Amino acid sequence: MLDVPTGHLPQRRRPVHAVPLLQGVHDVVGVVALVRYLARGGQPTGTPAARPPTPQQILAERFARGEIDEDEYRKRMDALRTTDPLPPRSDEQTSAAG
């Protein structure tokens, strides 16, 4: 048998429990996912927010499908380019005047 001085025994380390460690990692991942979700305006990650097509895009699609001919396409595109923006709504006019 080996004689080891009692003052030199290895100290016992505290065990690391996996459950609290994994719970902490889970919480951090959850917070990061929530922040990303809210930063995208409630859209799930990986899904870009869809924008409605512009009138010019709709017109180009109709031309590409053959629904309208080139003359009609050019006439309507010119009309879209020269059209003034929509007038302000009636509630915006009253607040600006008051």
The rounded Cα 68 to chain-centroid distance in angstroms is: 36
Among 51, 74, 53, which residue's Cα sits nearest to residue 63?
74
* E strand or H helix at 55: helix 55-65
How far is residue 54's CA from residue 61's CA, in Å, rounded to a whole number? 11
pLDDT in tens, 48-77: 667 899 999 999 999 999 999 999 999 999
Kindly report the pTM of this predicted structure.
Answer: 0.38
pLDDT in tens, 19-45: 777 788 888 888 888 888 788 776 665
Q: At what angle do helices 70-82 and 55-65 cross, to 10 degrees?
A: 180
Among 28, 54, 30, 51, which residue's Cα sits nearest to residue 43?
51
